[in-house]
């Protein structure tokens, strides 16, 4: 659906985006993750044809942005970080106005996007009267009014309260079942909760690009394996497991009924079959074995250390 090759954009002598390339498939929810100033917003503005690239190409569904930017704009719905809404208008009137500008028969489509974005109960209110969460939903309805194939969302949950964040996340996941969604954020939990894939950008360059779970497992860092068993105490369990290749340390966990331990394991090791085999061979009973990958937060910190430059998002 979207192919980006060698994309570069500078502001004066500052290179905000530096020779980045990636491909986004149909129906994917992709998170563009990076610290403030990493180049996320500049990238999204080029994808939406709001900014021209200095170098490189953007091809959307076979159409080159340099050849027909208007056609690409028709395929994309773009929600900037601060949704540009007319605060003195009623929500219904505002969306009818946007539909008219787009040349869309208004009432039916406005009703459809109001249902999708769950704003039917505020259609009679002035936009200025709405909470930020509802304003974000109105901005999303604006972005969706022409039923685009692609949604580009820049920091869609910025400044929302926890309840509003969950609601917007759920809405994005629903939309991702039918549309290609690209969202930019610096909030790690946002990516873990919402995205199929993450592209980490730092100082204008891509430093990681993969499915979230594969990025975690391939990071080479440490992970934890929690085991809960019966039939023995912690010391025999420790002795049986500590010599398994890949086990770095074993810590006893409190459990009033079972013997529980947390194993610290090198990130590239898959030792769960060996743990199971060892416990079974000792005739102990396994109640739980759970693996926690290295957190995305640690991976992000390692890849973007010193990445905040405070200039351009």
Query: Do 212 and 228 fall into the same domain?
Result: no
| Residue that finishes a domain, picked among 176, 197, 217 | 217
| Residue that finishes a domain, picked among 175, 194, 217 | 217
Domain that holds residue 181: 2-85+132-217
Query: Do 144 and 78 fall into the same domain?
Result: yes
Query: Do 63 and 21 fall into the same domain?
Result: yes
Tracing tokens 């894939």 back to the chain, one arrives at 197
Residue 49 CB neighbours (<10 A): 21
Query: Do 240 and 279 fall into the same domain?
Result: yes
54 within a domain of the structure (yes/no): yes
Residue 212, CA distances (Å) to 139, 199, 255 in order = 28, 9, 31
Query: Do 81 and 41 fall into the same domain?
Result: yes
105 within a domain of the structure (yes/no): no
| Predicted confidence (pLDDT) per residue in 229-251, tens digit | 999 999 999 999 999 998 999 99
Query: Do 80 and 229 fall into the same domain?
Result: no
Compute the mean pLDDT over every residue in the chain, rounded to the nearest whole number.
87
pLDDT at site 307: 46
Query: Do 194 and 180 fall into the same domain?
Result: yes
pLDDT at site 297: 64
Residue 214 CB neighbours (<10 A): 12
Query: Do 186 and 246 fall into the same domain?
Result: no
Residue 85, CA distances (Å) to 72, 108, 120, 127 in order = 23, 21, 17, 8
196 within a domain of the structure (yes/no): yes
Q: Regarding predicted confidence, which is higher, 116 or 304? A: 116
| Predicted confidence (pLDDT) per residue in 51-74, tens digit | 999 999 999 999 999 999 999 999
Half-sphere exposure of 105 (CA within 13 A, CB side): 1
Query: Do 139 and 189 fall into the same domain?
Result: yes
Res. 308: pLDDT tops 50: no
| Residue that finishes a domain, picked among 200, 217, 234 | 217
Query: Do 168 and 230 fall into the same domain?
Result: no
Res. 187: pLDDT tops 60: yes
- Percent of the chain with pLDDT strictly greater than 70: 90
Put simply, whether the predicted model's pTM sits higher than 0.85 gets the answer no
109 within a domain of the structure (yes/no): no
The listed range with the strongest mean pLDDT (113-117, 160-164, 211-215) is: 113-117
pLDDT at site 53: 93
| Predicted confidence (pLDDT) per residue in 16-56, tens digit | 999 999 999 988 999 998 888 889 999 999 999 999 999 99
- Pick from 114, 107, 44: nearest CA to 78: 44
Which of the residue ranges 35-39, 82-86, 151-155, 221-225 would you say has the lowest mean pLDDT? 221-225
Query: Do 237 and 182 fall into the same domain?
Result: no
Q: What is the CATH number of the domain that holds 16?
A: 3.40.50.300
Q: What is the CATH number of the domain that holds 260?
A: 3.30.70.920
State how many domains the chain has: 2
Query: Do 188 and 246 fall into the same domain?
Result: no
121 within a domain of the structure (yes/no): no
């Amino acid at each position: 659906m979207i192919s980006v090759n060698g994309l570069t954009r500078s502001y004066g002598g500052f290179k905000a985006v530096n020779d980045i390339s990636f491909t986004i498939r149909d129906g994917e929810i992709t998170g563009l993750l990076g610290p403030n100033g990493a180049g996320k917003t500049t990238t999204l503005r080029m994808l939406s044809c709001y900014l021209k690239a200095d170098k490189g190409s953007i091809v959307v569904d076979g159409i080159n942005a340099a050849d027909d930017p208007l056609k690409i704009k028709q395929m994309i719905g773009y929600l900037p970080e601060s949704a540009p809404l007319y605060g003195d208008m009623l929500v219904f009137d505002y969306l009818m106005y946007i539909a008219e500008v787009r040349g869309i028969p208004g009432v039916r489509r406005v009703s459809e996007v109001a249902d999708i974005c769950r704003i039917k109960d505020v259609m009679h209110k002035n936009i200025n009267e709405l909470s930020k969460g509802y304003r974000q939903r109105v901005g999303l309805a604006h972005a969706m009014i022409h039923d685009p194939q692609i949604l580009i969302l820049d920091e869609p949950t910025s400044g929302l309260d926890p309840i509003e964040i969950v609601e917007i996340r759920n809405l994005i996941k629903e939309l991702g079942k039918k549309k290609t969604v690209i969202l930019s954020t610096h909030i790690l939990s946002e990516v873990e909760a919402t995205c199929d894939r993450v592209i980490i950008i730092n100082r204008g360059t891509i430093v990681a690009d993969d499915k979230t779970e594969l990025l975690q497992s391939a990071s080479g860092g440490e992970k934890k394996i929690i085991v809960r068993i019966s039939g023995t105490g912690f010391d025999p369990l420790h002795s049986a497991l500590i010599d398994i290749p890949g086990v770095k340390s074993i810590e006893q966990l409190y459990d009033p009924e079972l013997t529980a331990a947390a194993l610290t394991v090198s990130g590239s090791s898959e030792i769960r079959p060996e743990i199971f085999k060892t416990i079974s061979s000792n005739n102990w009973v396994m109640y739980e074995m759970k693996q926690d990958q290295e957190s995305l937060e640690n991976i992000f910190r390692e890849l973007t250390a010193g990445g905040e430059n405070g200039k351009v998002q």
